Structure 1
Amino acid sequence: MFAPQGPTFRELTVQALSSVERGYDLLAPKFDRTPFRTPESVLAPVSRVLHTLGPFDGGLDLCCGTGAGIEVLRQVCRERVTGVDISAGMLAVGRARARTTAAAPRVEWVRADARALPFAPVFDLVVSFGAFGHFLPRERPGLFAQVHSVLRPGGRFVFPIVAPARPGSPGYWALLAFDAVMRVRNALWRPRFVMYYRTFRPSDVRAELARTGFDVRLHALPELGLRPDGSPRCRVVVATRPPGR
């Protein structure tokens, strides 16, 4: 839900009629008071999985926004944590609100496009929370290749993924309606604002990660509930760059 101090309807409308980059620059000061920020109920289960896989030396939060994933990385990384985002406004808010401490790991904030990451293979862990709807399906292979390129051999790419809504359910119709509105908006208005929730399908994502060269495993997140058939509502993807590649 939106907090009383969150963006007004007018502010959200202006954001929605902007580009992705400009829209988030405008939203940044109030972003943490919106439902778009990844909640602790998602961060905590992913952190639990990461603790079983780590510790790690260097971690990257891909499309970090104001830094919801930065604190998760600080719990499991010993030397270096980096947040990267295309929005200078989001990075500025994250940098200003981040806890400062002399203890490791050091935290860096870098403005860059996730489709052209300015890093060598120096990370042991890359995480991302809630950003993949901003990339069209045809962009995902390049995005995954970028992540692969900045990981050391044996490094992990970790992110939560929600099971598709059951056809005919309220969630299914809500997501279908949202994506339809976005497609109409982008057909009629420029610049485009890319945010599609139904295009990030687990089976497609898993296949694309494998084609990129990752070994892919899924871990259930039972804290986030079960579907009517008993399967998890949410899993965490652990994609590993194999040693030697």
Structure 2
Amino acid sequence: MTSEPAHPSPLAHGAASPAAVLFDAIGATYETAFAGLPEQLAALDWLIDTLAPGSKVLDIGSGTGRPTAERLAAAGHRVTGIDVSATMVELARARVPGATFEHLDARDLADDAGAWDAVCAFFSFLQLPRVDLDAQLARLGERLAPGGLLVFATVPAEVDGVEIEWMGQRARVTSHGTDVLMDRLRATGLEILHQGVSVFHPNHPDTGPEEQLYVYARRSADPQGGATD
């Protein structure tokens, strides 16, 4: 059994963060623009096929709840979605009543070490400052129970606070290149089971094609952090 994490005030970072402002403005348009993303659907299929029944899953940056929370909840898993955008949380609660959604910044989710059987983080950290991005990457393995699973996606690029036009909004993005991202994930005690880069064309007139990195990983069941077979 895994323990329930403790949650501080959800607004410690959330309400004023650039990501909250951005996704409050975008709202349901995001779901339309990124519907049917094949690599995301494949990652969820893998996770559903691999998880034990009734697993506890954290969806970081849960958005409208679709497709991640919706598919996992329909498969019988106990899903908690967190999102910095109050608009996204409201949409998700209406769309996916079988999951729990909290208006919460990932940086404010404390005391959850080993609490989750799986963590999903699809494009969740791109608006964070570099120091916070690195801290969140470092916590991904820590959040998982031994043997727990991660599905992770981002836009791999060596950028730090670069301002772009995205979905009709101004956004500042920060990321790492693929090699650095993989090194950081391995450093958290994760065994990489799959990695792949693809290009997706969002269904939005103001958004061009995106290169996207997808990773499946598992936290070692060995308490000393050794790789599992």
- Relative to the length of structure 1, the TM-score reads 0.63
- Please, which of 61, 64, 74 is the counterpart of residue 62 of structure 2? 64
CA 1:180/1:116 → structure 2, altered by over 3 Å: closer, same or farther?
Answer: closer
Q: How far, CA to CA, are the matches of 1:238 and 1:50 in structure 2?
A: 9
- 1:168 corresponds in structure 2 to none
List runs of 5+ in structure 2 lacking aligned partners: 1-16, 201-210, 225-229
Corresponding position of 2:104 = 112
SS in 1 for 2:136: helix
Question: SS in structure 2 opposite 1:208?
Answer: helix
Deviation at 1:223, TM superposition (A): 11
Aligned-pair identity in percent equals 23
Letter of the 2:164 counterpart: M
In structure 1, the partner of 2:178 is: 202
Aligned to 1:49: 46
Structure 1 residue 210: Cα displacement? 1.7
Distance of 1:158 and 1:239 partners within structure 2: 7
Instruction: For residues 29-81 of structure 1, give each alpha carbon's deviation from its aligned partner in whole angstroms, at most 9, with x where no partner exists.
Output: 54434x2x4534233211232244223511111111111211232255x4410
Query: What secondary structure does 2:108 align onto?
Result: coil
- RMSD over equivalenced CA pairs, Å: 3.4
**SS of corresponding position for 1:182:** strand
- How many angstroms apart in 2 are the aligned matches of 1:119 and 1:96? 28
Distance 1:154 1:52 in 2: 15
Partner SS state of residue 83, structure 1: strand
Other-structure match for 1:22: 21
Contact 1:59-1:124 at 8 Å conserved across structures: yes
Mark the runs of 5 or more structure 1 residues left unpaired by the alignment.
1-17, 101-105, 165-174, 184-191, 225-232
Of Structure 1 and Structure 2, the greater helix share is in: 1
Residue in structure 2 matching 1:238, options 213, 216, 220: 216
Q: How does 1:1-245 map to 2 (within 5 A)?
A: 19-33=18-32, 35=33, 37=34, 39-55=36-52, 57-68=55-66, 69-76=68-75, 78-98=76-96, 100=97, 106-118=98-110, 120=112, 121-160=114-153, 181-182=163-164, 193-196=171-174, 199-220=175-196, 236-243=214-221, 244=223
AA of the residue aligned to 1:150: R
Rg: which structure is higher?
Answer: 1
Q: Matched residue pairs, number? A: 189
